[in-house]
Amino acid sequence: MSTVRHQLVSPLQLVAMAIAGIILLPLGYVTAQALSADPVVWSRLWATRIPELLFNTVSLAASVAVITLVLGVSTAWLVTRVEFPGRRLWEVTLVLPLAMPTYVLAYIYSYLLGFGGPVEHFWQLVAGPQARIFSPHSYWGATLVMALDTFPFVYLLSRSALLSMNVSFEEVARVSGVSRLSTLWRVTLPLMRPSIAAGVALVILYVVSDFGAVSLLRYQTLTYAVFQQMTGRSDNAAASILSLLLVGLALIFLITERWFRQRSRYYQTSGRYRVPERRRYGWLGTIAITGYLGLTVGAAFALPAWLLIQWSLSPEALATLDNRFFGFVWNSGILAACAATVGVLIGLPLAYLANRKPTWLNISCLQAAYAGYVLPGPVAALAVLVLFLNVMPFFYGTAIVLIVAYVLHFLPSGLQSLEPALQQITPNLEEVARTLGLGVRETWRRVTLPLIRNGFIVAWVLMFLQIMKELPATLLLRPVGFDTLAIRVWMEASEEYYQLAAPSALLIVLVGLPALALLLSHDWRAA
């Protein structure tokens, strides 16, 4: 028995180590390139760009964090602790903004808030013809777009914290004569703190690594600067240096999020679970609540979606729906399908080993696969590019390079579905199958695989849908004739051809909706 298992595990372990190595290699190359860069480049960047970029990135992250905190926690509290008509509906619709890629929301807001745009026209009716509103191409514009797009992260975490919280704590406070507001402040919110912190850290990680919105809103962050350095200079030294800083920054927030997520477990209390009592407010309260939620969802999803539909139906946009357009759809689909398949095949041995034989080696292999979290799109592209140029230059310019970058970047979200699927099945089942005389392979085929199949499929779909909307790595690495829907949106939108960008954008949003349903039923952190 033990010899059989030994034979089974050993090659698998080798595979896992090889995969982990391949995943870490690009990151290592970028680091090496950054550290070996001419000190002159370093000092030049420190003197000119880095302070501004760091400040811009961190201040954007901070303001988005504050706004998402308020929006996310307040909406979560409303749908869990207040009873009002349509509550169940709002509970679901508040998640919809996650289906909007940031670059789509950014281009819609650069139209809405743009100079001479509809919002300004309306404002001028109110405040006089010379009145101006803030430009979307600014710090506040980027803040607005990123906050509207990411608040559902905080909402979802706060909501589940509110639902799983033991209401007895609050009841004790109330019985002891503490006012409602004071209870909220002194009992409920402190209990939610780890979940909120995890949500906000996630938002920050997302903001720091975003490329689509900041590029369309012309707001200079580190991620955008990496892209600009890669496309505007003939060597990658400066891009590598900025990438290294960015990886460091992302790492800080990833660790923060992990730490708070783990801490949130300590707050799970035993005891009987009851649904918290939902308070009712009068019709005035109902109107206020509905107005608040309607405004939030309207600004983050309904209005943009309506505009996309309007634009897609315009004659200019309909004229673009030719064979070429379906070629883009096909490219998006085929690239995402290949990369998702590779991702699942690669992720499976890693997750399996780390869960079944949690030696430190196996666990580190799995942790290595999470490196993608701290590799924003342009950095992943740079890393893969540098790796291929140094090691396998003959693949450069083929779809393989792009697929490797996708896998590297999105493997973490696939693993988040694979891991729980594997954790759910007990090894006893496999052992029973073995004692009853099934061979190793048969056990895999007839017991393990059927049990993990669902997790497998969900991981595949999640990776597929995220890869479909990926922008920066695709821009940098796509081979000839491989324009995708995301590329078309970005190219048209960056020249402000709003109508022409709409059909591709709408399709991306529509395809993203089922993904959202899946995410909600599993682990939505990966959106």
Partner 1 sequence: MSFVCFLPASRRTILSGLLLLFSAGLVPWFFTPPAQAADPLTIYSGRSERLIKPVLDAFTASTGIQIELLSSGSTELVNRLKAEGDRTPADLLITNDAGTLELARTAGLLHPLKMREVERAIPAQFRAPDNAWVGLSGRFWIVAYNRTMIQPDQVTSLLDLADPKWKDKIAIPNSGSEYLQAGVSVIRATYGDEKTRQFLQGLKTNADSQVYQKSSQIVDAVAKGQVAMGIVNHYYVYRYLAAQPGAPIAVLMPDQQEGGMGAIMNVAGVGIIKSTKHLDSAKLLVEFLVAQAGQKLFAELDKEYPLHQDVKADPALVERKSFRAAQVPLSKLAELREPTLALIEQVGLR
| Calpha distance 415→523 (Å, rounded) | 10
Residue 129 interacts with partner 1 (CB under 8 A)? Answer: no
CB of 240 to partner 1, least distance (A): 14
Residue 137 interacts with partner 1 (CB under 8 A)? Answer: yes
Token digits of residue 112: 């809405």
Q: Which of 313, 334, 392, 429 binds partner 1 (CB under 8 A)?
A: 334
Residue 83 interacts with partner 1 (CB under 8 A)? Answer: no
CB of 287 to partner 1, least distance (A): 26
CB of 307 to partner 1, least distance (A): 19
| Calpha distance 418→359 (Å, rounded) | 19
CB of 334 to partner 1, least distance (A): 6
Q: Which of 144, 222, 485, 518 binds partner 1 (CB under 8 A)?
A: 518
Q: Could you tell me the end-to-end alpha-carbon distance of the chain, in angstroms, rounded to an integer?
A: 42
CB of 255 to partner 1, least distance (A): 26
Q: Which of 48, 310, 424, 426 binds partner 1 (CB under 8 A)?
A: 48
Token digits of residue 295: 């405004």
Q: Write phi, then psi, for 279 (nearest 5 degrees).
A: -80, 150
Residue 466 interacts with partner 1 (CB under 8 A)? Answer: no
Q: Residue 141: CB partners within 8 Å, gap ≥ 6?
A: 109, 110, 113, 134, 135, 217, 219
The answer to whether 142 touches 253, Cβ cutoff 8 Å, is no
Q: Which of 232, 271, 282, 437 binds partner 1 (CB under 8 A)?
A: 232
Q: Residue 97: CB partners within 8 Å, gap ≥ 6?
A: 105, 148, 149, 150, 151, 152, 297, 300, 301
Place of tokens 């052992």: 431
Token digits of residue 409: 């970047």
Continuous segment of H or E residues that includes residue 82: strand 82-83
Token digits of residue 523: 């682990």
Q: Of the two residues 393 and 437, which places its CB atom closer to partner 1 in the complex? A: 393
Of 220, 462, 188, nearest in space to 340 by CA: 462
Q: Of the two residues 137 and 469, which places its CB atom closer to partner 1 in the complex? A: 137
CB of 511 to partner 1, least distance (A): 10
Q: Of the two residues 176 and 322, which places its CB atom closer to partner 1 in the complex? A: 322
CB of 10 to partner 1, least distance (A): 32
Residues making contact with partner 1 (CB under 8 A): 44, 47-49, 52, 91-92, 115-116, 135, 137-138, 160, 215, 218, 220, 228, 230-234, 330, 333-334, 337, 385, 389, 393-394, 396-397, 454, 457-458, 460-461, 475-476, 478-481, 491, 494-496, 514, 517-518, 520-521
